[in-house]
Structure 1
Amino acid sequence: MMHIVIIGAGECGARAAFALREKGFGGEITLIGAEPHLPYERPPLSKDGLAEASLPKFIAGAARYEEARIAVLTSVTAESIDRAQKSVTLSDGRSLTYDRLLLATGARPRRFPGVPEDAGRIRMLRTHADALAIRAALTSGARLAIIGGGFIGLELAATARRLGAEVVLVEGLPRVLSRGVPEEIAAFVAELHRREGVKIICGAQIEAIEEADDGARLLLADGAGVKAELVVIGIGAVPNTELAEAAGLAIENGIAVDERLCTSDRDIYAAGDCCSFPLPHYSGRRVRLEAWRNAQDQGALAAANLMGAGETMASVPWFWSDQYEFTLQIAGLAEGAQTTVRRDMEEGAFILFHLDGERRLIAASGIGPGNAVARDIRLAEKLIAAGAKPDPLALASPETRLKKLLVA
């Protein structure tokens, strides 16, 4: 009986396991996870999951895995892959043989130089255990220092303010959300946080972080200091490629895969945050995406191709972030845009449409309260996938329905 082993029990790995059954795979499936929990959603960890200090939002309950005949191994890691023998050695001493292998090993937070891993007052946010430790310190009036002005840092800042904590956010670059978010939207987000009482310091270089029994202190290059009961570091993520690299697989800003998610070994696939892949809508440009929906899409695609379907990637990158009552959504990649067109909407919402030199729509970035921009971003995503070249004046006009442009 064919055996498919999936290393990594996060969003991507779990979705792939269930997709295999949905697509009719009748062999054995083993899902390997390092954490003690069943697979759970990570996006809530910086939002409601942190605020409520609840159990993780599980992707499925134990009964559903049992019903689907998916063996889930928790609290265990894969130590090595023997490609010749097609086997995986686990940290508990067991060895599993496979016919096909999926690496969904994800990514880990980038560490700040010099900070010990066991520092109690200096944390990073990746797991449910991390969220519980951070939540315990976020009492009303407590002071939180966040290093990094990306999505994680800003979502954490919004949640901390909701809980009544004082927040200082330190970003080394000139503005927050420097990766993939237009400056106009980043400025809107920064002003939103300042109105909510977050102190944002951009262009600041951190010389050192000092830990004490009652908190920690950031020492900035300009001589200033920031004191807090807790420091959370959110300066990006590093793909977990060590297992693949030790097995001799090709690495290029992650585990290198082709348009079918196949690695340099035809029986090993990789998907999710750990892999880099060519984007068909952007002339095959190789990227690595740390995004919830990408993990879902690639989990499903990997499942199909583990069964020999030979399908290629077709989805457009999509990101979202909830901060206070606002939701930011981005479809596509704006890098290389020659023209940006703004569409103002009701309730203060707006969307920026990004076009390349041939006037082809390559990205759309929007922000507004609740789901104000969700429908139009979804339609923009379809326009991007279609390679559409819509009239910029039509994009700018709120009276023009994007669905009409899509039909055209």
Structure 2
Amino acid sequence: MSAPVVVVGAGQAACQFVASLRQGGHQGPLVVLGQEASPPYQRPPLSKAFLRDGDASALLLRPLSFFDTARCELRLDTRVQGIDVQAAEVLLADGERLPYAALVLGTGARARRLPGLAADAPRVHVLRSLAHAQALRAGLGGCRRLAVVGGGYVGLEVAAAARAQGIDVTVFEAALRVMQRSVGEATSRRVQRVHEDQGVRLRLGVSLDGVRASEEGVWLASGGQTEAFDALVVGIGALPRIELAQAAGIECARGIVVDEQGRTSASGVFAIGDCTESRDGARPRLESVQGAIDQAKAAAAAIAGRAPPPPAVPWFWSDQYTHRLQVAGLPQGHDAVVLRQGAGERAVAQSVWYLRGDRVLCVEALDAAGDFMAGRALIRTGTPVNPAQLADPLFPLQPASASASALVAAPV
């Protein structure tokens, strides 16, 4: 029997890779190795719906029958100890040496922790895995005062979920505004106002002088003051899991370095998802569902001997309270910003457009799903736009695919 294609990691990227590899016609054996005992699940809902309903069954990426249909051996609760790139083998913790015809690393990322604070500190939570979310959900059950360190996607989504349960929330953020590394100033200000209206206390531009945790509570010191909380959530980003690749001599920087089809520096070894970084530096390291899916499709095409799929427009989303933030594209290189604000009942709704010349690079849409969809289409097609029309909330935006001339540039 020929050696299988082996996937290390059982997350979003791995599941998409399995589907795409079979759709691409690859007939050889296929093995997915997952370190967690749980079947592959979605991570984005862990900081949103799961904290409210606790329904783990709703998180499944695919039913287990999918792996049978795809003729894929799914091994859960399996730890990979090393990679022998010369022998083309994966070394498992139980001593097995698993040969591979091609190896795909979908090892993901781990949550950053506060320096000097033990990983098992009581009443302190991070949020990256199902086990983390289950522990946090249980902890919120008896919580009256919650501290959140980090005003990014995870921190603000947890803050929203906690406020919905009537918990008093304080967010500590070192930057001068929330989501500073993710969105522009106009979107940041609107999201900040949403949280302030919900009673969240935002401590912006502050650094922590110290954190102490015990079974009785958590104490945060900042600016000469110490505050007591029942629990602490640390949401300060994630670190790509690159240790296996590094130990095997595979080129790594902040992530595992890959080309546009996921190829690493080692022959026959690919990497996909949150653990990766672009070799040419043309695109920053992205942690997103869509990014994982796109990379998985590209790597599967390479292994199946098919042409790579066309590059997709990157997009992200966040649910906070009853609001949805959707972002398409990347703003790097823009030379103009256009704000489109809703009116009346849609007073909260707005979209922010980043342009280079008369082309859209990125759109940030808050409660403006139509603007988001139009923006994705305009980015994909490169259709020229009229900034004055973009700014007019009464001007109807249509996806460029439906009406390529709807936003054709005209003198302003």
Question: Which category of TM-score, normalised to the shorter sequence, fits these structures?
Answer: over 0.9
Tell me the CA shift for residue 9 of structure 1: 0.5
What letter corresponds to residue 10 of structure 1 in structure 2? G
Q: Which residue of 2 aligns with 1:276?
A: 277
Q: Which residue of 1 aligns with 2:409?
A: none
What letter corresponds to residue 66 of structure 2 in structure 1? R
Q: Which residue of 2 aligns with 1:234?
A: 235
Q: Contact (CA 8 Å) 2:374, 2:397: kept in 1 or not?
A: no
Whether 2:351 is the aligned partner of 1:351: answer yes
Bigger CA drift: 3-12 or 309-318?
309-318
> Which of residues 391, 403, 406 is equivalent to 2:399?
403
Q: Which residue of 2 aligns with 1:335?
A: 332
Tell me the CA shift for residue 312 of structure 1: 5.7
Query: Could you list the per-position Cα deviations for residues 362-391 of structure 1 after superposition, in whole angstroms to 9, with x for gaps in the alignment?
Result: 1111101xxxx2232122122212233312
Superposition pairs of residues 2-401 of structure 1, within 5 angstroms: 3-56=4-57, 57-139=59-141, 142-220=144-222, 222-277=223-278, 285-311=282-308, 314-345=311-342, 347-348=346-347, 349-356=349-356, 358-368=357-367, 373-398=368-393, 399-401=395-397
What letter corresponds to residue 50 of structure 2 in structure 1? G
Structure 2 vs 1, CA of residues 308 and 265 (structure 1 numbering), >3 Å: closer, same or farther? farther
Tell me the CA shift for residue 48 of structure 1: 0.8
C-alpha distance in structure 1 between counterparts of 2:358 and 2:305, whole Å? 38
Counterpart of 2:325 in 1: which secondary structure?
Answer: strand
Query: Could you list the per-position Cα deviations for residues 273-313 of structure 1 after superposition, in whole angstroms to 9, with x for gaps in the alignment?
Result: 1111268xxxx613111111211222222212221224166
Tell me the CA shift for residue 27 of structure 1: 1.1
Structure 2 vs 1, CA of residues 385 and 114 (structure 1 numbering), >3 Å: closer, same or farther? same
C-alpha distance in structure 2 between counterparts of 1:404 and 1:18, whole Å? 30
Q: Contact (CA 8 Å) 2:5, 2:28: kept in 1 or not?
A: yes
Q: Contact (CA 8 Å) 2:37, 2:77: kept in 1 or not?
A: yes
Q: Contact (CA 8 Å) 2:354, 2:360: kept in 1 or not?
A: yes
Bigger CA drift: 325-334 or 373-382?
373-382
What letter corresponds to residue 147 of structure 2 in structure 1? A
What letter corresponds to residue 386 of structure 1 in structure 2? T
C-alpha distance in structure 1 between counterparts of 2:209 and 2:165, whole Å? 29
Q: Contact (CA 8 Å) 2:25, 2:304: kept in 1 or not?
A: no
Percent sequence identity is: 36
Structure 2 vs 1, CA of residues 263 and 256 (structure 1 numbering), >3 Å: closer, same or farther? same
Tell me the CA shift for residue 400 of structure 1: 3.8
Query: Could you list the per-position Cα deviations for residues 57-82 of structure 1 after superposition, in whole angstroms to 9, with x for gaps in the alignment?
Result: 11122222122221111112211111
Structure 2 vs 1, CA of residues 141 and 109 (structure 1 numbering), >3 Å: closer, same or farther? closer
Q: Contact (CA 8 Å) 1:125, 1:131: kept in 2 or not?
A: yes
Counterpart of 1:36 in 2: which secondary structure?
Answer: coil
Q: Contact (CA 8 Å) 2:123, 2:139: kept in 1 or not?
A: no
C-alpha distance in structure 2 between counterparts of 1:116 and 1:71, whole Å? 36
Tell me the CA shift for residue 23 of structure 1: 2.4
Gaps of 5+ in 2: 406-412
Structure 2 vs 1, CA of residues 278 and 325 (structure 1 numbering), >3 Å: closer, same or farther? farther
Q: Contact (CA 8 Å) 1:112, 1:233: kept in 2 or not?
A: yes
Tell me the CA shift for residue 226 of structure 1: 2.2
Q: Contact (CA 8 Å) 2:377, 2:400: kept in 1 or not?
A: no
Counterpart of 1:253 in 2: which secondary structure?
Answer: coil
Q: Contact (CA 8 Å) 2:373, 2:399: kept in 1 or not?
A: no
C-alpha distance in structure 2 between counterparts of 1:102 and 1:141, whole Å? 41
Counterpart of 2:283 in 1: which secondary structure?
Answer: strand
C-alpha distance in structure 1 between counterparts of 2:309 and 2:66, whole Å? 29
Q: Contact (CA 8 Å) 2:110, 2:239: kept in 1 or not?
A: yes
Counterpart of 2:90 in 1: which secondary structure?
Answer: strand
C-alpha distance in structure 1 between counterparts of 2:39 and 2:18, whole Å? 13
- How many residues in Structure 1 have an aligned counterpart in Structure 2? 398
What letter corresponds to residue 353 of structure 2 in structure 1? F
Tell me the CA shift for residue 41 of structure 1: 0.3
Query: Could you list the per-position Cα deviations for residues 100-138 of structure 1 after superposition, in whole angstroms to 9, with x for gaps in the alignment?
Result: 111111111112100111112111111111111111121
Counterpart of 2:83 in 1: which secondary structure?
Answer: strand
Gaps of 5+ in 1: none
What letter corresponds to residue 70 of structure 1 in structure 2? C
Tell me the CA shift for residue 51 of structure 1: 1.4
Structure 2 vs 1, CA of residues 24 and 234 (structure 1 numbering), >3 Å: closer, same or farther? same
C-alpha distance in structure 1 between counterparts of 2:98 and 2:294, whole Å? 27
Q: TM-score, normalised by structure 2?
A: 0.92
Query: Could you list the per-position Cα deviations for residues 248-295 of structure 1 after superposition, in whole angstroms to 9, with x for gaps in the alignment?
Result: 11112211111122111231111111111268xxxx613111111211
CA RMSD, aligned part only? Answer: 1.8
What letter corresponds to residue 8 of structure 2 in structure 1? I
Structure 2 vs 1, CA of residues 261 and 212 (structure 1 numbering), >3 Å: closer, same or farther? same
C-alpha distance in structure 2 between counterparts of 1:190 and 1:197, whole Å? 11
